[in-house]
Amino acid sequence: MSDPRTHPTAVDTPTSSALGRHLLVDLYGCARGRLDDLDYVRQCLLNAAVQAGATVVDSHFHSFSPCGVSGTVSIQESHLSIHTWPEHLYAAVDVFTCGSSVDPWRAYESLKNAFEADRGSAMEVHRGRPDLL
């Protein structure tokens, strides 16, 4: 696993031993058609989970009227979720992982490419910090 402290956007250090690593991802300027294609969005999330090194348990996706897709992927190591607003070319993604074998930043890179985002931002939040338990 990469050290979260080496990422400039990681916050709340020292937390390398936190129970969970939670990446809040915002993707801007995405390809509109891809954000409104449920099958594509689902495959992107599943691919991102695999890229991160996670084991997928199940996944559930829904389309909304007039547009937009929401979905969650349960992984052995926690979950991924996505909500898309095609009309704004925007997607909000969360990648929540636990354990040392998974790197959520790999999911971020995978998703940014898959949706052809002009700009992406991600903030890592450490959940279950040992000094707070």
Which chain residues interact with a second copy by CB under 8 A?
A: 19-20, 22, 24, 26, 28, 57-58, 60, 62, 64, 70, 72, 74, 76, 78-79, 81, 83, 85, 88-90, 92, 94, 96, 98, 125, 127-128, 132-133
CA distance 107 to 25: 10
Active-site residue, selected from the candidate residues 16, 63, 74, 98: 98
Active site residue 44: no
Shortest distance in whole angstroms from residue 132 CB to a second copy: 7
Least gap, CB of 65 to a second copy (angstroms): 10
Q: Are strands 20-28 and 56-63 parallel, antiparallel or unpaired?
A: unpaired
- 3-state DSSP of 43-101: HHHHHHHHHHCCCEEEEEEEECCCCCEEEEEEECCEEEEEEEEHHHCEEEEEEEECCCC
Catalytic: which of 22, 30, 78, 79?
A: 78
**Would residue 126 show up in a list of annotated catalytic residues for this protein?**
no
Is 78 catalytic? The answer is: yes
Helix then strand count (H, E) for the chain reads 3, 6
Minimum Å gap between C-beta 88 and a second copy is 5
d(CA 74, CA 120): 23
Catalytic residues: 78, 83, 98
